């Protein structure tokens, strides 16, 4: 049996390019022509390697989520909830990383605008965000158990509060708010944070990192 022709492109590299495009434009704001151009492949190659646009998007989100969870876990692993939550929220203030990675969150921006045809994508992203909320609430519970948060803290409500602020920052950033403006919003939010204030040099250094 004759073998098929080997792919003439790097699948992971092409997928990374798709991630960036979906991240910046959202699912419905990204056309198939945009993807083909950004990924540097032909339409038949895209379908052969990734399936249709929705299947490609899900693969892109899977790859994105795998990396994001590692970053989130590293942030939430800090002993100080105040430092961790401030660092988490600063990720959504609109400043692109030095390597050109977009600001915000693909799981939020990917479905900011979705027609009925995109409901399955919207539902999938909602499920993923709920999983991240659960992860955050579990960490808040551990901070409470460790005495970093008050014993009467409603961790589920506090977690939803944090996620609501994060989502609002994404929308504001996409609407044109400047990073420095949104960073002030995060600092204002942190003034109400119930976690302990630890002014020791070691903790201050962690928070400033």
Cβ-in-10-Å burial (0-12, 13-18, 19+) of 88 comes to buried
Q: Does the residue 11 lie in any domain?
A: no
R_g (Cα) of the chain, nearest Å: 20
Contact yes or no for 133/107 (Cβ under 8 A): no
Lowest-confidence region among 34-43, 144-153, 191-200: 191-200
Query: Max CA-CA distance within the chain?
Result: 70
Neighbours of 189 (CB within 10 A): 17
Half-sphere exposure of 117 (CA within 13 A, CB side): 4
Residue 117 falls inside a structural domain = yes
State the helix-helix crossing angle for 179-190 and 155-174, rounded to 10 degrees: 160
Considering the domain boundaries, does residue 141 fall inside one?
A: yes
Q: Is 90 contained in some domain?
A: yes
The CATH number covering residue 72 comes to: 1.10.357.10
Average of per-residue pLDDT across 161-167:
93
Helix (H, G, I), strand (E, B) or coil at 78: coil
Three-class DSSP category at 167: helix
With respect to residue 1, please indicate whether it lies within any of the assigned structural domains.
Answer: no
Check residue 115 and give its pLDDT. 57
Phi-psi region of 21 (alpha: psi -120 to 50; beta: other; left: phi over 0): alpha
**For residue range 102-125, what is the model confidence (pLDDT) as tens digits?**
766 777 766 655 555 667 887 888
Distance CA 202, CA 75 (A): 16
Which pLDDT value is given to residue 92?
Answer: 87
Range of weakest confidence among 42-46, 61-65, 145-149, 194-198: 194-198
pLDDT of residue 131 exceeding 80, the answer is: yes
Q: Report the alpha-carbon distance of residue 20 to residue 205 in Å, rounded.
A: 32
113: how many CB neighbours lie within 10 A of its CB? 13
Question: What is the domain count for the chain?
Answer: 1
In a domain, 41, yes or no: no
Give the domain extent around 91: 64-208
The predicted model scores a pTM of 0.77
40, part of any domain: no
- Residue among 143, 160, 119, 164 nearest 27 (CA): 119
Examine residue 122 and state whether it is found in any structural domain, yes or no.
yes
């Amino acid at each position: 049996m004759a073998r098929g022709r080997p792919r003439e492109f790097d699948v992971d590299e092409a997928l990374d390019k798709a991630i960036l495009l979906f991240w910046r434009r959202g699912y419905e704001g990204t056309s198939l022509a945009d993807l083909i151009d950004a990924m540097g492949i032909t339409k038949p190659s895209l379908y052969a390697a990734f399936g249709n646009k929705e299947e490609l998007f899900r693969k892109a989100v899977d790859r994105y989520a795998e990396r994001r969870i590692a970053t989130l876990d590293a942030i939430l692993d800090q002993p100080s909830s105040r430092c961790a939550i401030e660092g988490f929220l600063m990720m959504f203030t609109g400043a692109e990383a030095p390597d050109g990675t977009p600001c915000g969150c693909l799981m939020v921006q990917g479905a900011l605008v979705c027609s009925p045809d995109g409901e399955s994508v919207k539902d999938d992203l909602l499920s993923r965000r709920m999983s991240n909320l659960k992860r955050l609430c579990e960490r808040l519970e551990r901070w409470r158990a460790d005495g970093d948060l008050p014993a009467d803290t409603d961790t589920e409500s506090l977690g939803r509060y944090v996620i609501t602020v994060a989502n609002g920052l994404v929308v504001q950033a996409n609407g044109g708010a400047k990073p420095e403006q949104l960073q002030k919003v995060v600092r204002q939010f942190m003034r109400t944070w119930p976690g302990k204030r630890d002014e020791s040099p070691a903790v201050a250094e962690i928070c400033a990192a």
